Amino acid sequence: MLRKCFIAVAIVVSTAQPLLAASDVNPKADFNAFRKYFTERFPNVKLNDFVNGPYSMDENLRKQWLAKEEFPPYEFAVEKGKQMFNTPFKNGKTYGDCFENKGIGVRQNYPKFDAKSGQVITLDVALNQCREANGEKPLNYNKADMAALTAYMAFTSRGKAMNIKIPDNPRALAAYEKGKQYFYSRLGQFNFSCASCHVQNPGNHFRTEVVAPALGLVNALPIYRSKWGGMGTTSRRFRSCNSQVRGVPLKAEDELYRDVEYYLSYMANGLPISGPGARP
Amino acid sequence: MNEFPDAPDTARRMILKGAVAGGLAGLGFGSFPFPAYAAADAKEWPADAFKQKSEADVLKALYGKTAEASDKISLDAPEIAENGAVVPIAVTSTLPKVTAIAILVLNNPNVLAAAYKIPEGTEALVSNRLKMAKTSKVVAVVESNGKLYSAAKEVKVTVGGCGG
Amino acid sequence: MRTRLLIQLAVVLSVGGFVTAGFAASADDFKAAYAKAEAAIKQAHALKNEWTTTGKEMKAAKKAADAGKFDDAVKHAEHAEALAKASIAQAEEQKKLWKDAVVR
Amino acid sequence: MSSTIRIKAVASGGTTQVQSLIRHPMDSGFLKDKKGKLIPAHHIEVLQFKHGGKTVFTAFWGPAVSKDPYVKFKFKGGKKGDELKVSWVDNKGASDSLMAKIQ
């Protein structure tokens, strides 16, 4: 039967796959190919404009966005984030004490690879690590408080070039490669990968939305979505992608989400931070 | 100063906009609440007009008259709304002595979205963001010299904004 | 090519699930079918590749069983199992196929 | 939490351009909550701007104005440092007000 034949194929495939040697992983070559793909496919989009997502490729949407940017709907979230950021913890320390340059203008350096834990640390995770180190409970990675904090930190970093480092460390390279694999793997009942939309179809309409290019997508995070009526975190963004293709979302800041953010952020190196972004 | 020597204008504009929104970067205007004596008065709100289901009934309830089409009204609205929950719409007019502007969304459950009083010395210009339940004709109505004029435009909505 | 096969497979299985259960099922049949589906879902979950539709079928199965409609309950559970197996197959095949999609 | 009202008022060439964003749910009355219960309409009804004791702009809003509503208008007069009084009241009787300085 069809099913049996299919599973047999799958088993052969999975056992035939060799383990990756670190030497096979070449982020710099990936970066060049990725950049070339987008700039050649969209010769009319200026490189630094990719960070504005669908607005870089649709004139009608761009006009509405510019109108909204006159007084952007995310201002209240940024203001709330600023207040949270500047409010000391019970021990008197602040978020700023956990970051270089007191946390101002540092968004472009995240995610970072942490050699001690062997894990990718996103800005959201770093904020919760900071809270826990100071005796505070972590914030929910899907909720408005985390979105407001990261929105403020992105706001203070606007225009700074994404600056992601992948150290020559087998675990860092493995995390990068896992993120890349997740990005290109088809999933969900609709059998879509992240790349199916954001590499193969940027600028095209999917359902009712214009798809954002993968290049620079993370630079706009976190985003205020009109359909959410509010600011959402990076995790919320990834989770909504999963469920749109009928995949059960992973838990917020799951290792794979952090790895894929690491991969995409490295691909966006040199492009300006545009977050917090406003999107439909 | 500029970190992107070949940054396009758009990126720079984005950054400048961030700076202009400086209220939240701590450049505040020394704003503070003031006592209620000068406050907006809910009694002025034209409740009846906001209940009407047609353009004619709204205009009758608001102004007691009908409107004629005018090319001296500019209605700036997107052809396709990115999301019906937030549709930027701007109205300006070169008509003389403008005293009021109203914006109607004909296919919304209640047609009147917003009405503005324009006192002498205030320009015939208003920009706002409205919800649209579905694709609809949007009508801008301007009261000039005691008469009503209107202009209309179709806005396509693929994601409805009833949710708000 | 192979991905198209996968989708067809999912469709075939989803229809098949409804066709095969042409007998009068008992509570035990339901329990057995439900347990098999649960095992497959657990495996899909471990692969971080569960489908949202699988959970919906399981809920429908449970609801039908609670109402004593075991034929329906078995159909839904079998459908859930088929979907879960398709998602497992998808995850396994993507372990290699993802590379073909990478921008080069 | 700080004021619900945010203002950018800039004087230039004898004209003042005012932009305002207000934090308000502007519930349409047509949306249901997670339990399937209709959320009643909750919206600003009147928004007023005063400059030097004179009303320069009045908005009457229904539930079809977007969440966290925005408005822009221009009036003749007004100079840097002048005070602009803003106030709103909603259909549940809640209100807020702010005195902003023209920039």
Supply the pLDDT for residue A209. 78
What's the average model confidence in pLDDT over C77-97?
96
Of D1, D2, D8, the CB nearest to A71: D8
Please indicate, yes or no, if residue D33 is contained in any of the structural domains.
no
Cis-peptide into A276, omega within 30 deg: yes
In eight-state DSSP terms, residue A17 is: P
Determine, for residues C93 and A9 on separate chains, whether the beta-carbon distance falls below 8 Å: yes
CATH number for the domain that contains residue D97: 2.60.40.10
Q: Catalytic residue at A241?
A: yes
What's the average model confidence in pLDDT over D46-57?
95
The pLDDT of residue B28 is above 70: no
Please indicate, yes or no, if residue D48 is contained in any of the structural domains.
yes
Supply the pLDDT for residue A11. 34
**More confident call, D37 vs C20:** D37
Domain count, chain D: 1
Q: Hey, which chains touch A, using 3+ CB pairs under 8 Å?
A: B, C, D
Nearest CA-CA partner of B135 in B153, B119, B121, B116: B153
The tokens for D77 are 């007069």
CATH of B45-157, one of 3.30.70.1110, 3.40.50.10470, 2.40.50.140, 2.60.40.2470: 2.60.40.2470
The pLDDT of residue A10 is above 60: no
Domains of chain B, residue spans: 1-39, 45-157
Q: How confident is the model at residue D32 (pLDDT cuts 50, 70, 90)?
A: confident
CA B91 to chain centre: 7
Of D7, D31, D45, the CB nearest to B164: D31
Q: How confident is the model at residue B143 (pLDDT cuts 50, 70, 90)?
A: very high
Look-up of token digits 């079928």: C57
Measured between beta carbons, which residues in chain D are less than 8 angstroms from residue B41? 46, 48, 89
Supply the pLDDT for residue A234. 96
pLDDT above 90 as % of chain D: 83
The pLDDT of residue A54 is above 60: yes
Instruction: Considering only CA atoms, give the Rg of chain D.
Output: 15
Supply the pLDDT for residue B24. 36
Supply the pLDDT for residue D83. 95
The range of the structural domain enclosing residue D75 comes to: 5-28+39-101
Least confident of B9-18, B39-48, B115-124: B9-18
What is the three-class DSSP state of C50?
Answer: coil
Measured between beta carbons, which residues in chain A are less than 8 angstroms from residue B90? 67
Half-sphere exposure of B56 (CA within 13 A, CB side): 0
Residue A49 — φ and ψ, nearest 5°?
-90, -15
Cβ–Cβ < 8 Å for A214, A199: yes
What's the average model confidence in pLDDT over A117-138?
98
Measured between beta carbons, which residues in chain B are less than 8 angstroms from residue D45? 40, 42, 45
Of B30, B116, B127, the CB nearest to D101: B30
Task: Please state whether beta strands A223-225 and A277-279 pair in parallel, antiparallel, or not at all (unpaired).
Answer: parallel
Distance CA B20, CA A158 (A): 13
Supply the pLDDT for residue C72. 94
Cβ–Cβ < 8 Å for B21, A79: no
Q: Chain D: nearest CA to A125, how far in angstroms?
A: 26
Distance CA A188, CA D73 (A): 48
- pTM as predicted: 0.81
Number of other residues whose CB lies within 10 A of the CB of residue B47: 13
Please indicate, yes or no, if residue D34 is contained in any of the structural domains.
no
Among A202-211, A224-233, B96-105, top mean pLDDT goes to B96-105
For an interface test with D, the pick among A71, A86, A224 (most D C-beta atoms closer than 10 Å) comes out as A71
What would the DSSP string read from start to end of A223-273? Answer: EEETTTTEEE-HHHHHHHHHHHTTBPPPPTT-HHHHHHHHHHHHHTTTSBP
The pLDDT of residue D57 is above 70: yes
Nearest CA-CA partner of A147 in A224, A238, A72: A224
Q: Is C22 on the interface with A (CB under 8 A)?
A: no
Instruction: Considering only CA atoms, give the Rg of chain C.
Output: 15
Alpha helices, DSSP H, located in A52-155: 59-69, 75-86, 123-133, 144-155
The pLDDT of residue B160 is above 70: no
The pLDDT of residue A17 is above 80: no
The pLDDT of residue B37 is above 90: no
Residue A55 — φ and ψ, nearest 5°?
-75, -15
Q: Chain A: nearest CA to C63, how far in angstroms?
A: 21
Please indicate, yes or no, if residue D82 is contained in any of the structural domains.
yes
Determine, for residues A229 and B85 on separate chains, whether the beta-carbon distance falls below 8 Å: yes
Supply the pLDDT for residue A207. 67
